[in-house]
Chains A and B, each alone.
Chain A
Amino acid sequence: MNIVVCVKQVPDTWAEKRLTAGDSTLDRESVDSVMNELDEYAVEEALRLREAHGGEVTVLTMGPERAVETIRKALSMGADKAVHLCDEALHGSCAVQTSYALATVLGTLEWDMVLCGTESTDAGMSVLPAMLAERLGRPQLSSARTVHVEGTTVRIERQTETGHEVVEGSMPVVVSVVEKINEPRYPSFKGIMAAKKKPLTTLTAADAGIAAERVGLAHALSSVVSFADRPPRAGGTIVRHDGDGGVRLAEFLAAQKFI
Chain B
Amino acid sequence: MAEILVLVDHVDGTVTKLTTELLTTARALGEPAAVFCGAGYDVARARLAEYGARTVHIAADPDLDSYLVAPKVEVLAQLLAERSVAAVLIGSTVEGKEVAGRLAVRTGSGLLTDVVDLDADLVAEQPAFGGSTAVRSTVRTGTPIVTMRPNSTTPVPAPETPVEQQLTLALPEAAKGARVVERVRERRSGRPPLAEAAIVVSGGRGVGGAEGFAVVEQLADALGAAVGASRAATDAGWYPHQHQVGQTGVSVSPQLYLAVGISGAIQHRAGMQTSKTIVAVNKDPEAPIFELADFGVVGDLFEVLPQLTAEIEKRKG
Contact = CB atoms under 8 A, between A and B. Distances in A.
Interface of A: 13-14, 16-19, 24, 38, 94-96, 99-100, 118-119, 121-123, 125-131, 133-135, 137-143, 155, 158-170, 173, 178-180, 220-230, 233, 236-241, 244-250, 252-254, 256, 258-259
B132 A229 contact: yes
Interface of B: 11, 68-70, 73, 93-95, 97-102, 104-106, 108-114, 123, 127-129, 131-142, 174, 177-186, 193-195, 199, 223, 235, 241-242, 247-248, 250, 255-256, 266-267, 270, 277-279, 281, 285, 290-300, 303-312, 315-316
B133 A228 contact: yes
A222 B108 CA distance: 11
B311 A250 contact: yes
B267 A13 contact: yes
A19 B312 CA distance: 44
25 contacts: A16-B132, A19-B128, A19-B133, A95-B101, A127-B97, A131-B105, A133-B102, A139-B177, A139-B178, A140-B98, A159-B241, A161-B94, A165-B180, A165-B184, A168-B178, A168-B179, A221-B110, A223-B137, A225-B123, A230-B131, A247-B307, A250-B308, A253-B312, A256-B277, A258-B199
Contact of B136 (A14, A131, A224): A224
For the complex of A and B, the 8 pairs showing the least CB-CB separation, nearest first, are A241-B299, A246-B307, A139-B177, A127-B101, A221-B110, A222-B110, A246-B308, A130-B98
A230 B266 contact: no
Most chain B beta carbons < 10 A, residue from A94, A122, A128:
A94
A236 B199 CA distance: 19
A61 B270 CA distance: 25
Contacts of B135: 19, 24, 224, 226-227
Contact of A233 (B95, B137, B141, B292): B292
B129 A170 contact: no
A163 B185 contact: yes
B182 A166 contact: yes
B297 A245 contact: yes
Contact of A137 (B174, B184, B223, B315): B174
A127 B113 contact: yes
Nearest to A243: B303
